[in-house]
Amino acid sequence: MLCYVRFRHNCCYQNSITGDTECTTKIGNTWLNLLYSVLTIARFGLLGFGPVLFISTIEHMSKDNIPYVVRLREKLEKTVCFCQTPEQKPVGLDYERVLDLTTMRAFPKLRSLVWTRNVPFGRPVKVRFPQYDICVDYKRTLMENTVPVGLFQSLFRAMFKCHIRFAGPFRECCQTNMLYSTERQVPWTKCFRKVAKVILILVIPTPFYVRLFMFYKFECEALVDRKRAVALAGLREPFENSLIHYLTPTHGLFVFIYIVYAVTALVFAFLSRPRRQNRVQKIIVDSFRDLKRLAWTDTLSMFLANFVWPFREFGLLGCLVGLIYWPVAMPLSLVIAIVYSVPTIYLTVRMAVHSKIASIVKARRSHRKAYNIKVSVVKYLRCLNIIYNSECLNTFENSSALCHLSNLAKKFLLSYILSFSPIRFVI
């Protein structure tokens, strides 16, 4: 038989009449009990509904770009020169900037216009811009009544985001080689970024450090005496709302949490690649967006719909059908309602779903096949295209319907040849 022990506070006072010292364990304080109850509710509430407090913060981690259109009062005129190869650039042409549309993510409309329209290559042309399509990084947008010039924000950007390298004295120093060697180049900015990441890993658990200080300063001695008394009496200690008191910070569970935190932080800080880090960040952001779009009333509607389903389908006989239907359907509905109602559980499920989707997309991309172009097939297709165009113009010049049928036949024949030719396209 397992017996548990419960410690009570022993309050002693001296009687003013008799002068004797009297002690009692019947100590009750309504406000103190109310405080303990509020702390318990806040603790479990933060555990279950804490992710709701971080929705706006997580959304600012998004890598998505929001397009903003700024229409100009007067069209902006520029002189540009489009070149497919460096040899097409005119001799002696002076230019201010070179844009490589094949590698840049910006200017998607300009890239599509160059490839879809008959744009002259190799000679300067004048273009006019009626509007600006500005792609703004979502994490750089500001919330209402938020000014990012506070002391702590400035220190965070200067130290952990390495914005101090833009200051005057550090602008040139951060780019110099710290090894004082010509064989290997390691700039100071790269070293300090690694150091800043380590410092950030150590600074994040600061509230836990404060809790450890309070524990070892005021609570450890009394707690060790209690555990020693419990062990000598052969009893067991119950859990009383404090995991640190129940296990102590040196327990194996806490040691495992320390190791997992350190390994995870070091992997994300030093070993993760940018694309993989962006993939994990996208999973987190998409999961929080699903949490933001979640309607709590839909969960209640689903639960009530399963309850009234027998009455809707069978009328008064629903009372008899419900005796069979409710024991099966209502527990399942209750589990689903809990999953959708508790943000922590819902967020965990959505992260698992988005992780599965990301792994499927990655697997499909890895199985894509790349093909090479056969010059002979391309030349044959060009000749075939010219032949059919000339036939359409000469033979069926006055008949638009027959010309349309000829174009359809040409497209069918081209697609038939393409099915047997190794043309490089994304499948």
Q: Give Rg (Cα) of the chain.
A: 35
pTM of the model: 0.56
- Note whether residue 215 is domain-resident: no
Q: What is the count of structural domains for the chain?
A: 4
Confidence bin at 261 (pLDDT 50/70/90): very high
What's the pLDDT score for residue 154? 76
The mean pLDDT value for 372-392 works out to 42
- Note whether residue 380 is domain-resident: yes
- Note whether residue 105 is domain-resident: yes
Is residue 88 domain-shared with residue 113, that is, in the same domain? yes
Decide which of 158, 180, 203 is a domain's last residue: 203
Is residue 47 domain-shared with residue 85, that is, in the same domain? no
Beta carbons of 80 and 127 less than 8 angstroms apart: yes
Is residue 117 domain-shared with residue 130, that is, in the same domain? yes
pLDDT of 277 above 70? no
Token output for 181: 């060697």
Is residue 153 domain-shared with residue 132, that is, in the same domain? no
The mean pLDDT value for 214-236 works out to 88
Give residue-wise pLDDT tens across range 129-167.
Answer: 888 877 766 666 666 666 666 777 777 777 777 777 777
Beta carbons of 396 and 403 less than 8 angstroms apart: yes
- Note whether residue 404 is domain-resident: yes
Query: 165-179, 205-219, 265-279, 396-410: lowest mean pLDDT where?
Result: 396-410
Residue 170: DSSP 8-state: T
CA 105 to chain centroid, in Å, comes to 21
- Note whether residue 275 is domain-resident: no
- Note whether residue 368 is domain-resident: no
Is residue 78 domain-shared with residue 115, that is, in the same domain? yes
Token output for 128: 């006019």
The mean pLDDT value for 54-59 works out to 77
Is residue 122 domain-shared with residue 69, that is, in the same domain? yes
Is residue 73 domain-shared with residue 130, that is, in the same domain? yes
Domain that holds residue 198: 143-203
Share of the chain above pLDDT 90, in %: 6
Is residue 150 domain-shared with residue 135, that is, in the same domain? no
pLDDT of 295 above 70? yes
pLDDT of 367 above 70? no
Token output for 138: 């979502």
Beta carbons of 63 and 297 less than 8 angstroms apart: no
- Note whether residue 386 is domain-resident: yes
What's the pLDDT score for residue 36? 81
- Note whether residue 272 is domain-resident: no
Decide which of 184, 203, 222 is a domain's last residue: 203
Strands (E), 138-221: none
pLDDT of 375 above 60? no
What's the pLDDT score for residue 108? 73
Confidence bin at 400 (pLDDT 50/70/90): very low
What's the pLDDT score for residue 197? 84
Query: 60-74, 145-159, 384-398: lowest mean pLDDT where?
Result: 384-398
pLDDT top residue among 58 and 326: 326
pLDDT of 212 above 90? yes
